[in-house]
Amino acid sequence: MGVRCLQWQPWHHCGGPSKLHFELVFLRLKRGRGERQWLLDLNQTASAKPRAVHIAQAGHDLGHSAKHAEAVRVMRFMEAGSAAVRGVSTLVKLAFANALGKVTMNRASVLIALVMGALTVLLWGMVNRPDVEPPWPSKVEGFSFSPMRGEQSPEGPDYPDISQVDEDLAVLAGDAHAVRTYTVQSTLAEVPRLAGVHGLNVTLGAWITRQADFNDGELNKLVEVFRENHKQVVRVIVGNEAILREDQTPEQMIAHLQRVRQSVWAPISTAEPWHLWLKHPELVEHVDFIAVHMLPYWEGISVDNAVGHVLNRYQRLKEAFPDKEIVISEVGWPSKGRTRKEAVASLGNQAKFLRRFLAAAEREGLVYYLMEAFDQPWKRQIEGDAGAHWGVFDTDREPKFAFTSPVVPVPNWFSLAAISVGLSILILALLFRDSAGLSSGGRGFLAFVAYAIATFVVWLLYDFTLEYMTPAMLVVGVALCIAALGVILVLLTEAHEWAEALWLKQSRRPTLPKALPDHRLPKVSVHVPAYNEPPEMLMQTLDALDRLDLSLIHISEPTRLRRKSRMPS
């Protein structure tokens, strides 16, 4: 038997007595071909000064009897070196049991981490179960078309150049029969001409506001663009929700319609939500078709009931105005935004609604324009976060969801699940590093907290990446991430303390009590603060202290002086 090294290491705790940490660093027994290795750990309270005993390696390449004799000599030397090592056989048994316990705990920790990881992946999978939806048709009737990119905005005004408009029309050329515009300002006046090159028809729009001068110029430009490109223009829409915004009255809109009708020969209308058409039947008399907006998200309708809601409102208009053609000039669902009652804006819900609606529209023979072709970040200032995310294509002109395969709410969920599991393991490694005395229940609690926090963080960061960033949003996002990191650290600390309070099997640093003579015990200092207390109460307090064993208690000198000055003669 060879003993490599035995060390006694001191450990001080908050000014209390020294605690000697006896550690048998390496103990190896060799008998024939068998080999065992133990790591021993013993904590013991003592007040002696730290010592260290180093025992050189012994028992190399000896025969069986020689190794046994050498082992006996080494053990006797250890016993002679310190009284703390006299029970080395008992220590070996305790250390061996302790070592087995640590191995079992490590396996339990790994098992807990694996189980929680599997549950996390299962949770991601359940939330992202694929839904089989009707396939996207080869061509849709039309798209609402706003070709602004990035931070371009008509509010600026900052319109795209002609080449960008042409590129966007080329993206839609094989997927739609027509596009609908909203204004003839700047380069958007070139849409009919460019659309003809790509084989697209156009529903030409004019934007109407409260400003009479602007409206006059817009209508004049509308007539000019129509006459130059009338072969591509199949409809004209004067104004978009101008009555809903209360920018115009129905009477004013009727006047605009009559003015345009004198100069163009295409069917004319104005676009409003379905309820305003029912509210103002006089408006119907002055249009050639009803251009109606069907946006169930704004009405708080759940995605499962949304298509039925659209068809129901369409039928109500058809029954109310049987002699008028109905064109759904806007219909869609945002991929992101605030929840409105039962309407949840998400990428999966957008794909579900549009694919279900397109199947119903083909079955019912509806004329419609999907809201809208491309995401428009500038609309965030007007409609909130949802306003920026109505597009079928994102700002990079890439499809946002699958057109034919099953709809998955988060297409890359497996990668996010793997990231959350990896992050959880890192957090658990830090938590378990200081959790030696916890039971399996405590470690399971910490694993649950770690996986919950990691999954939440991964989801939050994923959701944040879906935003169209501005410099201000990026700065705010970084500041929120830093604040969230502080909150997470506090939560992990609190969780660890809860686990130790509820599931601690044994103290991580057990203190073995040892009887000491009175003169070795520390003294206790008692301070009695007094400020305007009743003298009788203070005297009773000091008398009670006097009845204690003052050999172990020290009453502060100022207190003694105050006591003497107030004692009755």
pLDDT one-digit tens code per residue, 434-444: 777 788 899 99
Lowest-pLDDT range of 332-341, 444-453, 471-480: 471-480
How far CA 460 is from CA of 90, 286, 289, 455, 480, in Å, comes to 54, 50, 45, 9, 11
Q: What is the pLDDT of residue 72?
A: 41
491 or 76: which leads in pLDDT: 491
Amino acid 298: pLDDT = 97
Give residue 119's pLDDT band: very low, low, confident or very high (50, 70, 90).
very high
For the chain, what is the mean pLDDT? Answer: 81
Question: Which pLDDT score is estimated for 254?
Answer: 97
Average pLDDT score over residue span 389-399: 96
Handedness of CA 347, 353, 359, 362 (dihedral sign): negative
Determine the pLDDT at residue 509: 62
Higher pLDDT: 517 or 315? It is 315
Strands 233-240 and 268-273: parallel
pLDDT at 141 over 90: yes
87-108: per-residue pLDDT in tens? 333 433 333 334 334 433 467 8
Q: What is the pLDDT of residue 556?
A: 58
Interval 136-147 mean pLDDT = 97
- The pLDDT tens digits for 247-260 are 999 999 999 999 99
- Among the residue ranges 10-19, 278-287, 411-420, the one predicted with the least confidence is 10-19
Question: What's the pLDDT score for residue 21?
Answer: 33
CA 384/CA 371 separation, integer angstroms? 16
Report pLDDT for 511. Answer: 62
More confident residue, 296 or 37: 296
Each residue's pLDDT tens digit, 189-234: 999 999 999 999 999 999 999 999 999 999 999 999 999 999 999 9
Upper half-sphere CA count for residue 221 (Cβ side, 13 Å): 21
Q: Residue ranges of the alpha helices (H) in 82-190?
A: 88-127, 162-172
Please tell me the least confidently modeled range out of 293-297, 306-310, 399-403, 498-502: 498-502
Q: Give the pLDDT score at 349.
A: 97
Cα distance from N-terminal residue to C-terminal residue, the chain: 78
What one-letter code names the amino acid at 87?
G
pLDDT of residue 300: 97
Burial string for 55-82 (b: 16+ CB within 10 Å, else e) reads: beebbeebeeeebeebbeebbeebeebe
Identify the pLDDT of residue 306: 98
> Helix 440-465 crosses helix 413-432 at what angle (to 10 degrees)?
140
List pLDDT tens digits, range 171-195: 999 899 999 999 999 999 999 999 9
Indicate if the pLDDT at residue 472 is higher than 70: yes
pLDDT in tens, 329-376: 999 999 999 999 999 999 999 999 999 999 999 999 999 999 999 999
Angle at 280 between CA 342 and CA 154, to 5 degrees: 65
Residues 175 and 14: their CA atoms lie apart, in Å, by 75
Task: Please give the share of the chain, as a percent, with pLDDT higher than 70.
Answer: 76
Q: Burial, 174: exposed, middle or buried (Cβ in 10 Å; 0-12, 13-18, 19+)?
A: exposed
> Which tokens sit at 7?
């060390």
In whole angstroms, give the CA distance from residue 399 to residue 350. Answer: 12
Mean pLDDT of 129-152: 95
Between residues 530 and 556, the one the model is more confident about: 530
| pLDDT score recorded for residue 214 | 96
User: Looking at the predicted structure, is the pLDDT value of residue 58 above 70?
Assistant: no
Q: What is the spatial distance between Cα 337 and Cα 463, in angstroms, rounded to a whole number?
A: 11
Q: How far apart are CA 174 and CA 353, in angstroms?
A: 22
Q: What local confidence, expressed as pLDDT, does residue 513 receive? A: 67
pLDDT per position as a tens digit, 503-523: 887 766 666 667 777 777 777
Residue 57 confidence (pLDDT) above 70: no
Q: Tell me what pLDDT residue 190 has.
A: 97
DSSP state of 395: T
Question: Mean pLDDT lowest for which of 69-83, 453-467, 502-516, 539-553?
Answer: 69-83
Q: What's the whole-number mean pLDDT along residues 145-163?
A: 92
Rounded Cα gap, residues 377 and 386, in angstroms: 9
For the whole model, what pTM was predicted? 0.71
- Of 541 and 550, more confident: 541
pLDDT higher than threshold 80 for residue 64: no
- Asked if residue 147 lies in contact with residue 164, where contact means CB atoms within 8 angstroms, the answer is yes
